[in-house]
Structure 1
Amino acid sequence: MYIKIDAYGECIQKYGEELCGDQVKIIRNPSGVTAILADGLGGGTKASLLTSFTAKIMETMCKSGVPIGQAADMIVEFQPETGEQDSAHKVPFTLIQIPFNGMMHVEQFETPDVILLRRGKPVPMHVSCRGLRGKTLRSGVMSIKQADTVIAVGSGMLSVGAKRNLKNGWRLETLSAYMQNAYHPRASAEHLVRLLLNAGNSLSFGKPEKDLSAMVFRLGT
Structure 2
Amino acid sequence: MNRYKEELCGDKVEIEKFDGGCIAVLSDGLGSGVKANILATLTSKIAVTMMKNGLSIESVVDTIINTLPTCKVRQLAYSTFTIIYVSNSGECYIARFDNPEVLIKRNGNIDIIEGEEVIISGRRVIESKFNLEKDDIIVSFSDGVLNAGSGKILNLGWDLKNVSEYIKMIPSNISSLSLTKKIIGICDDLYLQKPGDDTTVLSIKIMKNKYVTLFTGPPTDCENDKIVVANLIKSKGKKIVCGGSAAKIVARELDTDFEMDMKHIEGDIPPVGYIKNIDLVTEGVLTLKKVLEVLNDYNNNKYHIDDIFKDNKEENGAYKILKILIDECTNIDFLVGRSVNLAYQSLDFPDDLAAKIQIVEKIKDKLIELGKEVNIFYY
TM-score interval, smaller chain = 0.7 to 0.9
1:147 maps to which residue? 135
Tell me: CA distance 1:69–1:145, structure 2 relative to 1, closer, same or farther (3 Å): farther
Residue 57, structure 1, aligned to residue 46, structure 2:
yes
> Among 148, 160, 163, which residue is 1:160 paired with?
148
Alignment of 1:11-26 (within 5 A): 12-26=1-15
The number of aligned residues is 206
Asked whether the equivalents of residues 62 and 121 of structure 2 are also in contact (C-alpha less than 8 Å), the reply is no
Structure 1 stretches of 5 or more lacking a match?
Answer: 1-11
Alignment of 1:17-56 (within 5 A): 17-56=6-45
How many angstroms does 1:124 deviate by?
4.6
Provide, for residues 149-183 of structure 1, a one-character-per-residue CA deviation record: whole Å limited to 9, x for no partner. Answer: 10000011111012444211011121111100013
| 1:136 partner SS | strand
Residue 135, structure 1, aligned to residue 109, structure 2:
no
Q: Give the number of the structure with larger relative contact order, counting CA–CA contacts within 8 Å between residues 6 or more apart.
A: 1
How many angstroms does 1:147 deviate by?
1.0
Q: Whole-Å Cα distance in 1 between the matches of residues 133 and 57 of structure 2?
A: 21
Q: TM-score, normalising length from structure 1?
A: 0.86
Residue 125, structure 1, aligned to residue 113, structure 2:
yes
Structure 2 stretches of 5 or more lacking a match?
Answer: 209-379
Q: Whole-Å Cα distance in 2 between the matches of residues 36 and 119 of structure 1?
A: 25
Tell me: CA distance 1:43–1:15, structure 2 relative to 1, closer, same or farther (3 Å): same
Q: Whole-Å Cα distance in 2 between the matches of residues 103 and 45 of structure 1?
A: 36
More deviation in 89-98 or 66-75? 66-75
> Among 101, 113, 116, which residue is 2:101 paired with?
113
How many angstroms does 1:68 deviate by?
4.2
1:218 maps to which residue? 205
Asked whether the equivalents of residues 16 and 22 of structure 2 are also in contact (C-alpha less than 8 Å), the reply is yes
Asked whether the equivalents of residues 126 and 141 of structure 1 are also in contact (C-alpha less than 8 Å), the reply is no
Provide, for residues 64-108 of structure 1, a one-character-per-residue CA deviation record: whole Å limited to 9, x for no partner. Answer: 222445424432454689xx9412x32000000001111110001
Question: What RMSD over aligned residues (CA atoms) do the two structures have, in Å?
Answer: 1.9
Greater Cα radius of gyration, structure 1 or 2: 2
> Among 192, 200, 203, which residue is 1:205 paired with?
192
Asked whether the equivalents of residues 69 and 107 of structure 1 are also in contact (C-alpha less than 8 Å), the reply is no
Q: Whole-Å Cα distance in 2 between the matches of residues 45 and 161 of structure 1?
A: 24
Asked whether the equivalents of residues 77 and 133 of structure 1 are also in contact (C-alpha less than 8 Å), the reply is no
- The answer to which structure has the higher strand fraction is 1
Aligned sequence identity (%): 28
Tell me: CA distance 1:42–1:171, structure 2 relative to 1, closer, same or farther (3 Å): same
Asked whether the equivalents of residues 23 and 52 of structure 2 are also in contact (C-alpha less than 8 Å), the reply is no
Q: TM-score, normalising length from structure 2?
A: 0.52
Q: Whole-Å Cα distance in 1 between the matches of residues 109 and 43 of structure 2?
A: 33
How many angstroms does 1:41 deviate by?
2.5
Q: Whole-Å Cα distance in 1 between the matches of residues 62 and 89 of structure 2?
A: 24
More deviation in 45-54 or 164-173? 164-173
- The answer to which structure has the higher helix fraction is 2
Q: Output the amino acid matched with 2:41.
A: S
| 1:192 partner SS | helix
